């Protein structure tokens, strides 16, 4: 539901639509790439929440899906491979009034950034992490990723993948994430609803999205998911039961579940547990407590 925000002079502003979150650059993704649906859903979700571009920061690492901030009208940071959660944590701690949304892929997030994935979850940083999981490294033209199935043949595994995949859903739950969901990019309405819930959640929210790479992963395309994806909402799943959530998340056969697996509604995020951050508003809005000369020296050393 779109809302309006009061502005100076008590004039209500005009509600934004999904189109208002369209960036100045059009995506260069391959035609049919699942990431188009994810971009569409996030634009819809931000409009539904009544957010404004200046209230949102998108942070990404490296990969096809990590080009996301460039296609979205908001603040954006395109950072280092696997390091987006570390940058996002810093940004959120400096200004916890910002809605910080992290976007990236399975290789970036669960492989190269696996360490940060674990520790951001256990810290329960109030971030929304949207992972476009296509079970392959797409930008580097098709090598196995941490979520590729065993036996999968790619450029890096011509005789078949001999490794087992990571399960992002059970990993996130075990490490302390307080909102864990999965979506399929072919169902934009369901994905939008989960994104909205993830952004509203106060704590670390993972939204893992099956977002097919139609160019390099022909094993897990739209036809694979369309035949198998089922919604947890249709099964009376109890999202406060972590054991039931893990059992559902480990099903990978004729039924593969999407929806909200797990949520801990009353958890305290890192910003709430840190007294320095919680007392006097965002650090970014406070007096620095240094002379301008000293501040310039400190910033100069860091540049
Ligand atoms: Fe999408 Fe794959 Fe093309 Fe990358 S290579 S833009 S992930 S379809
Ligand atoms: Mg990938």
Nearest C-alpha to atom 6 of ligand 1 is from which residue?
29
Write out pLDDT tens, residues 95-138.
999 999 999 999 999 999 999 999 999 999 999 999 999 999 99
Distance linking the first and last C-alpha atoms of the chain: 43
pTM, entire model:
0.93
Report the nearest atom of ligand 1 relative to the CA of 217.
Answer: 2
Residue with tokens 């950034």: 113
**What's the pLDDT tens digit per position in 58-106?**
999 999 999 999 999 999 999 999 999 999 999 999 999 999 999 999 9
Residues contacting residue 243 through CB under 8 Å, at least 6 positions apart: none
User: Which residues on neighbouring strands pair with residue 183, listed in sequence order?
Assistant: 209
Ligand 1 centroid–CA 295 distance in Å is 44
* Lowest-pLDDT range of 38-52, 175-189, 237-251, 271-285: 271-285
Ligand number nearest CA of 134 is: 2
Mean pLDDT taken over the chain: 94
Q: How far is the CA of 122 from the centre of ligand 1 (A)?
A: 31
């Amino acid at each position: 539901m779109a809302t309006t925000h009061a502005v100076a002079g008590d004039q209500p502003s005009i509600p934004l639509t999904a189109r208002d979150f369209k960036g100045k650059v059009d995506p260069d993704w391959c035609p049919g790439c699942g990431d188009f649906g994810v971009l569409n859903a996030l634009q819809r979700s931000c409009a539904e929440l009544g957010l404004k571009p200046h209230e949102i920061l998108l942070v990404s690492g490296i990969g096809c899906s990590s080009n996301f901030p460039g296609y979205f009208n908001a603040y954006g940071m395109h950072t280092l491979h696997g390091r987006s959660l570390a940058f996002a944590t810093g940004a959120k701690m400096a200004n916890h009034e910002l809605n910080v949304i992290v976007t990236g892929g399975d290789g970036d997030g669960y492989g190269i950034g696996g360490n940060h994935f674990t520790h951001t979850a256990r810290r329960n940083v109030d971030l929304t992490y949207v992972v476009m999981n296509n079970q392959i490294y797409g930008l580097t033209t098709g090598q196995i990723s941490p979520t590729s199935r065993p036996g999968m043949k790619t450029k890096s595994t011509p005789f078949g993948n001999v490794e087992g995949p990571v399960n992002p859903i059970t990993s996130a739950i075990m490490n302390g994430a307080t909102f864990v969901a999965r979506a399929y990019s072919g169902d934009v309405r369901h994905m939008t609803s989960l994104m909205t819930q993830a952004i509203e959640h106060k704590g670390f929210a993972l939204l893992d999205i099956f977002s097919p790479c139609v160019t390099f992963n022909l094993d897990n395309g739209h036809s694979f998911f369309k035949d198998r994806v089922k919604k947890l909402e249709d099964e009376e799943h109890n999202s406060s039961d972590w054991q039931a959530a893990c059992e559902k998340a480990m099903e990978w056969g004729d039924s593969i579940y999407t929806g909200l697996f797990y949520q801990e509604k009353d958890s305290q995020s890192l910003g709430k547990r840190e007294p320095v951050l919680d007392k006097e508003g965002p650090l970014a809005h406070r007096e620095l407590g240094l002379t301008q000369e000293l501040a310039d020296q400190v910033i100069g050393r860091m540049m």
